[in-house]
């Protein structure tokens, strides 16, 4: 009789045979079934696990950090995420103005008196800050903290607009060149008494870069780190390239007016809509021009695309304060830096390296008069 290949070898044994032969055949059938069962089980055990999305969030540095990984190894992803959250908390203890004993508070307390030994992380953040201050002609300046007791936009927000005299009295205390970094000695010195620094415009980006390094060390390839306005994507999303939205500054919170596909890049947005209040019909926001001591008015949103989050973080603030024309001119001069700027006029400026890569879904919502 002919046999279907799918039935071999068991169907051939259904014909009558002497008992001894049938016993041997029965044992053979059991052995074959056992061996095949083991081979199938072994194959199933060795088959690669299906990739899954793992997402976790953590509150630190005054904002939520959200991390997402697309991975076959959930347990390793969770362990890496826990380590990243611990690292963010450690950096917060060094860089915050709200954490007693931080490097920043120690340096501020010794302003005009003596250098202070700080961590290498604080040194690295300040070195980036100084570079961006030079690129922006001082528009990015960590010593804007002199204005922090008259303009309040954090958890201490009071909705008060300071008087011109209050602002003018603090402008002489804003000068990034007074922050003296001695990398060899590991010290930082603010040379004038009464000055203070605040790393809110650069510290989150530094933390994102640390998270990226830690995830890659843990063997993760496809992941996203989002921390306030700072974001880094690596590899691919579950359904293809990472496609990121740029918020409509005057639109609904979840409305992206533009989309951008990214790969192994960072994306940082500074906008006048996140930390702001209204007084007598005017918007007052936290991105202060160090030359005037008032909120910068030329832009409503600046998104920087770069290789590292720490530079993107600082540049998004500096370019915002420079304004759309001068800011875009700076972006075009810098290697591996791109930008999408929404001007106060509602015009959208896109740097040359992003032409053809940004999808405008709709024009940004105009500001109300």
Residues 142-162: tens digit of each pLDDT? 999 999 989 988 777 788 999
Q: Is 71 exposed, middle or buried (0-12, 13-18, 19+ CB in 10 A)?
A: buried
- Using CA of residue 279, residue 281, residue 285, residue 288, what is the dihedral sign? negative
> pLDDT at position 89, please?
98
pLDDT digits (tens, 9 = 90+) for 233-261: 999 988 888 999 999 999 998 899 999 99
- The DSSP secondary-structure symbol of 334 reads S
Q: Give the DSSP per-residue string, 114-167.
A: --EE--HHHHHHHHHHHHHHHHTTTSS-GGGGGGTTTS--STT---PPPPHHHH
Token pair recorded at residue 258: 């533009």
Identify the three-state secondary structure at position 230.
Answer: strand
State residue 73's pLDDT score.
95
Q: Are residues 180 and 259 in the same domain?
A: no
Let me know whether 39 and 70 are in one domain: no
- Note the pTM of the prediction, 2 decimals: 0.85
Asked if residue 135 and residue 182 are part of one domain, the reply reads yes
Q: What is the mean pLDDT of residues 21-40?
A: 39
Q: What is the dihedral of CA 203, 209, 215, 218, to 10 degrees?
A: -100
In terms of domains, do 295 and 174 share one? no
Q: Is the pLDDT confidence value at 24 over 50?
A: no
Pair 152, 226 in one domain:
no
Measured CA to CA, the distance from residue 103 to residue 114 in angstroms comes to 14
Residue 109 and residue 254 share a domain: no
Backbone phi and psi for residue 234, each to the nearest 5 degrees, phi listed first: -125, 140
What 8-state DSSP symbol labels residue 195?
-
Does residue 161 form part of some domain? yes
φ, ψ of residue 276 to 5 degrees: the values are -155, 165
Polymer length in residues for the chain:
369
| Per-residue pLDDT at 35 | 39
Q: How many helices (H) and strands (E) does the chain have?
A: 8, 16
- What pLDDT digit, counting tens, does each position of 162-218 carry? 999 999 999 999 999 999 999 999 999 999 999 999 999 999 999 999 999 999 999
Model pLDDT, residue 99: 94
Percent of the chain at pLDDT > 70 equals: 86
State the pLDDT at residue 21: 41
Residue-wise pLDDT for 259-284, tens only, equals: 999 999 999 999 999 889 999 999 99
Are residues 30 and 69 both part of a single domain?
Answer: no
Note down the domain range covering 58: 53-77+214-360
pLDDT of residue 342: 98
- What residues form DSSP beta bridges with 180? 189
With respect to residue 39, please indicate whether it lies within any of the assigned structural domains. yes
Query: For the chain, how many structural domains are there in total?
Result: 3
And the tokens for 153? 């936009």
- For the chain, the average pLDDT equals 88
Task: List the CATH number of the domain containing 345.
Answer: 3.10.520.10
The whole-angstrom distance between residue 345's C-alpha and the CA centroid of its chain comes to 28
On whether both 296 and 340 belong to a single domain, the answer is yes
Residue 344 pLDDT greater than 90, yes or no: yes
């Amino acid at each position: 009789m002919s046999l279907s290949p799918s039935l071999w070898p068991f169907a051939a044994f259904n014909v009558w045979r002497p008992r001894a032969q049938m016993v041997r055949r029965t044992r053979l059938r059991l052995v074959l079934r056992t061996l095949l069962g083991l081979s199938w089980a072994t194959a199933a055990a060795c088959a690669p696990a299906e990739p899954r999305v793992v997402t976790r969030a953590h509150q630190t540095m005054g904002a939520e950090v959200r991390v997402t990984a697309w991975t076959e190894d959930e347990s390793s992803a969770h362990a890496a995420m826990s380590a990243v959250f611990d690292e963010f908390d450690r950096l917060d203890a060094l860089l915050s103005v709200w954490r007693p004993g931080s490097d920043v508070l120690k340096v501020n307390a010794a302003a005009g008196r003596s250098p202070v030994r700080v961590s290498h992380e604080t040194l690295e953040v300040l070195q980036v800050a100084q570079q961006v201050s030079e690129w922006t002609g001082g528009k990015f300046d960590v010593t804007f903290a002199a204005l922090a007791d008259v303009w309040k936009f954090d958890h201490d927000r009071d909705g008060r607009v300071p008087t011109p005299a209050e602002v003018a009295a603090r402008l002489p205390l804003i000068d990034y060149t007074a922050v003296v970094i001695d990398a060899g000695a590991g010290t930082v010195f603010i040379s004038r008494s009464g000055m203070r620094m605040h790393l809110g415009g650069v510290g989150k980006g530094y933390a994102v870069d640390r998270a990226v390094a830690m995830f890659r060390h843990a063997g993760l390839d496809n992941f996203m780190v989002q921390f306030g306005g700072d974001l880094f994507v690596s590899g691919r999303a579950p359904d293809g390239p990472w496609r990121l939205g740029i918020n409509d500054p005057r639109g609904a919170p979840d409305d992206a007016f533009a989309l951008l596909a990214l790969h192994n890049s960072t994306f940082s947005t500074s906008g006048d809509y996140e930390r702001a209040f209204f007084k007598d019909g005017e918007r007052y926001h936290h991105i202060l021009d160090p030359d005037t001591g008032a909120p910068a008015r030329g832009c409503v949103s600046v998104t920087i695309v770069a290789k590292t989050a720490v530079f993107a973080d600082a540049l998004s603030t500096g370019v915002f304060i420079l304004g759309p024309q001068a800011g875009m001119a700076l972006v075009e001069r810098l290697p591996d830096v791109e930008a999408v700027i929404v001007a106060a006029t509602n015009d959208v400026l896109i740097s040359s390296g992003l032409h053809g890569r940004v999808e405008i879904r709709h024009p940004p919502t105009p500001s109300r008069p």
